[in-house]
């Protein structure tokens, strides 16, 4: 009787050991599967992020038919988006036509943000521009060279509010002192840039927009 009991104890111990090994293998296998799954998901996310980053760098922000502002030059219409060889490299470019100066330019899509190409303002923003033109503020800088450079930088920015400041400040200065030839040209440039954008935004002629701006300034 004791011998039989001993045999059963050995068998029970063996079965217990086998179960532990099986459970351990299953646990390890599950861990490996989890690690692989996490690795696959991480890889997929990284690939997706790279893909977005690459597409965002050169993907067009605008479409054919959109009206945009090209700093220093004015409002234009994107008439096409086409491939063009630039410095030996084939790049996607916007074809922009600016009616105010009858200019047609090609702008690489990848450089458009750096250049400052932007959408025209919304109708609700026109009032903000007009309010800015009405403000009783002047540029107190007396050195015309510094003043000229500051104003030129504002116009180069392409920001319509900065351009409106230049227009207002030079208009008010011209009432008290005669502007230099360079500043007169700068004033005319700012005035025309605002007139053209306001005209397109409000759906009126450039002449009507110009008259509106003149009334506000005076």
Are 127 and 209 within one domain? yes
Are 163 and 201 within one domain? yes
Cβ neighbors of 164 (< 8 A, separation 6 or more) are 129, 132, 133, 190, 194
Reduced to 3 DSSP states, what percent helix, strand and coil does the chain have, rounded to the nearest 5?
65, 15, 20
Are 180 and 102 within one domain? no
Could you tell me the residue range of the domain that residue 107 belongs to?
A: 67-119
CA 80 to chain centre: 20
CA distance 122 to 200: 10
Instruction: Indicate if the pLDDT at residue 5 is higher than 80.
Output: no
Amino acid 58: pLDDT: 52
Are 100 and 128 within one domain? no
**Which one of 75, 100, 119 terminates a domain?**
119
- Check if the beta carbon of residue 188 is closer than 8 Å to that of residue 204: no
Amino acid 53: pLDDT: 33
Residue 62, in any domain of the structure: no
Question: Residue 114 belongs to a domain with what CATH number?
Answer: 2.40.10.170
Are 32 and 89 within one domain? no
Are 184 and 105 within one domain? no
CA distance 218 to 206: 18
Higher pLDDT pick, 136 / 97: 97
Q: How many domains, the chain?
A: 3
Instruction: Indicate if the pLDDT at residue 205 is higher than 50.
Output: yes
Residue 32, in any domain of the structure: yes
Instruction: Indicate if the pLDDT at residue 170 is higher than 60.
Output: yes
Are 135 and 203 within one domain? yes
Q: Provide the pLDDT confidence category of residue 141 given band limits of 50, 70 and 90.
A: confident
| 27-86 pLDDT per residue, tens | 566 656 655 554 554 444 444 333 333 334 455 689 999 999 999 999 999 999 999 888
**Which one of 57, 78, 100 terminates a domain?**
57
Are 196 and 138 within one domain? yes
pLDDT above 70 covers a percentage of the chain that reads 72
Are 131 and 209 within one domain? yes
Amino acid 117: pLDDT: 93
Residue 195, in any domain of the structure: yes
Amino acid 59: pLDDT: 56
**Which one of 75, 101, 119 terminates a domain?**
119
Q: Nearest CA to 81 among 64, 104, 101, 99?
A: 64
pLDDT above 90 covers a percentage of the chain that reads 56
Higher pLDDT pick, 101 / 47: 101
Query: Model's pTM, two decimal places?
Result: 0.69
Are 78 and 28 within one domain? no
Higher pLDDT pick, 23 / 48: 23
Amino acid 144: pLDDT: 86
User: What is the average pLDDT score of the chain?
Assistant: 81
């Amino acid at each position: 009787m004791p011998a039989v009991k001993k045999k059963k104890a050995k068998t029970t111990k063996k079965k217990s050991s086998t179960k532990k090994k099986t459970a351990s293998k299953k646990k390890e296998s599950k861990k490996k599967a989890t690690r692989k799954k996490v690795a696959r998901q991480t890889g997929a996310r990284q690939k997706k992020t790279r893909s977005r980053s690459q597409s965002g760098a050169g993907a067009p922000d605008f479409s054919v038919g959109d009206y945009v502002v090209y700093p220093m030059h004015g409002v234009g219409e994107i008439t096409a988006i086409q491939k063009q060889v630039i410095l030996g490299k084939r790049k996607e470019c916007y074809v922009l036509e600016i009616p105010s100066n009858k200019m047609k330019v090609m702008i690489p899509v990848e450089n458009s943000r750096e250049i400052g190409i932007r959408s025209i303002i919304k109708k609700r923003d026109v009032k903000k521009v007009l309010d800015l033109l009405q403000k009783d503020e002047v540029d107190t800088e007396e050195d015309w060279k510094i003043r000229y450079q500051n104003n030129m930088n504002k116009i180069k920015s392409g920001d319509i509010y900065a351009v409106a400041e230049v227009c207002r400040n030079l208009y008010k200065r011209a009432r008290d002192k005669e502007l230099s030839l360079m500043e007169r040209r700068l004033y005319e440039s700012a005035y025309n840039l605002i007139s053209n954008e306001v005209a397109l935004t409000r759906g009126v002629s450039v002449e009507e927009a110009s008259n509106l701006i003149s009334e506000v300034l005076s």
